[in-house]
Homo-oligomer: A and B are copies of this chain.
Amino acid sequence: MALTGVLRPGHVQLRMLDLEEGVRFYRDVLGLEETGRDAAGRVYLKAWDERDHHSIVLRQADRAGMDFFGFKVASSADLDRFEAELRDDGLKTERIPAGELLETGERLRFELPSGHLIELYAEKTFVGSHFGQKDPKPWTPHQDRGIAPMRFDHALLYGPNVDRVLDIFTRILGFHLAEYVTLPDSDVKGALWLCCSNKAHDIAFVIHPEPGKLHHVSFYMESIDRVFRAADIMAAHDIKVDIGPTRHGITRGGTIYAWDPSGNRFETFSGGNSSYPDLPPIAWTWEGLGEGGGLDVAHRTMHETFLTVVT
């Protein structure tokens, strides 16, 4: 009870048009730590407050985007249970053997009706942080290396059938809906912010005709001050910014959207509402998303890129 089943976003595999350029960005500019490379040439990274072996996996590819998004679950029994329930629901599932991702146990993979590959896994090597586990240090220089987010926080994914996605996440995976946006002149939920914890969100979806698209991966910053510092460091490395610094009305988080060297959007995010499954979700209209500041509190307008640029 309390936190059970799906615990948290655990990893995301991103496609890089130039792998080493991508590594230089995620490691030296964003400030993640490289924790391994595998035989397939993939590069594994983690943020300074993450304690599992990795959260970001980069691979060389000829188009940008996300291969899959993985959640850590509490136990291997959860894998069996979720597998059964997902199959009962008509979804095909696949088991990927332990070790296919470095330091990671067996993964249960399935494809959402939105076209995204989601994985569940119960084991990943605990490597700890530089604070240590016993009488931890009050500070480590890793907190200031590059943009230096605390953790990979969530992703926003674009694809069709978000009504089915909502059903799968809430009914089977135990998530709750924290906030949503209805389409223009409609009650149809066109955008979803979903939680398996009391964070502002753990994964989000926006309806989109093309399946399997990535809108952004998001990294958590400790404060608005640190979001501003992220903008300075982006500028120093000539990283192109899409939106922000501003606040999202949705989640009330501080934000910058920008692009990695392969054109994948990433976010540096801070604060954000707490959410709980017993609280009614916050409802945004389409106008609220744009003119109401759901996307951009400071400017209260729809940015065209928000709806059109995905990888």
Q: A246-B245, A280-B133 are in contact. Are A228 and B224 (CB under 8 A)?
A: yes
A29 to B244, alpha carbons, bound, how many Å?
A: 23
Count the A residues whose beta carbon is within 8 Å of the partner chain — how many? 76
Interface assignment of A201: CB less than 8 Å from any CB of chain B: no
Closest Cβ–Cβ distance, residue A17 to chain B (whole Å):
22
Q: Are A235 and B297 closer than 8 Å at their CB atoms?
A: yes
- Residues in B neighbouring A249, C-beta threshold 8 A: 135-136, 138, 235
Q: Are B135 and A285 closer than 8 Å at their CB atoms?
A: yes
Set B176, B228, B285: member contacting A2, Cβ < 8 A: B176
Q: Are A198 and B293 closer than 8 Å at their CB atoms?
A: no
A7 to B199, alpha carbons, bound, how many Å?
A: 13
A144 to B271, alpha carbons, bound, how many Å?
A: 17
A8 to B197, alpha carbons, bound, how many Å?
A: 11
Set B198, B224, B234: member contacting A223, Cβ < 8 A: B224
- Residues in B neighbouring A279, C-beta threshold 8 A: 51, 126
A165 to B174, alpha carbons, bound, how many Å?
A: 28
1/0 per residue A221-240: CB within 8 Å of B? 01111001101111110100
1/0 per residue A265-287: CB within 8 Å of B? 00000010110111110111101
- Residues in B neighbouring A283, C-beta threshold 8 A: 133-135
Q: Are B138 and A247 closer than 8 Å at their CB atoms?
A: yes
- Residues in B neighbouring A137, C-beta threshold 8 A: 236
A31 to B85, alpha carbons, bound, how many Å?
A: 47
CB closest chain-B residue, reference A256: B298
Q: Are B4 and A284 closer than 8 Å at their CB atoms?
A: no
A236 to B135, alpha carbons, bound, how many Å?
A: 12
- Residues in B neighbouring A277, C-beta threshold 8 A: 2-4, 7, 74
**Interface hub of A6, A136, A238, A249 (most chain B Cβ within 10 A):** A136
Q: Are A151 and B274 closer than 8 Å at their CB atoms?
A: yes
Set B224, B254, B297: member contacting A138, Cβ < 8 A: B297
A216 to B133, alpha carbons, bound, how many Å?
A: 26
1/0 per residue A191-202: CB within 8 Å of B? 000011111000
- Could you list 5 further interchain pairs (A-B, Cβ under 8 angstroms) beyond the known A134-B282, A231-B297? A2-B6, A3-B198, A135-B287, A223-B224, A223-B271
**A-B residue pairs in contact (CB < 8 Å), sample of 16:** A1-B5, A3-B197, A7-B278, A72-B278, A126-B279, A133-B280, A135-B287, A136-B282, A138-B232, A138-B297, A139-B229, A144-B144, A151-B274, A197-B197, A232-B247, A235-B297
Interface residues of A (CB under 8 A from B): 1-8, 49, 51, 72, 74, 78, 126, 133-140, 144, 151, 173-176, 195-199, 222-225, 228-229, 231-236, 238, 241, 244-247, 249, 252, 254, 256, 271, 273-274, 276-280, 282-285, 287-288, 292-294, 297-300
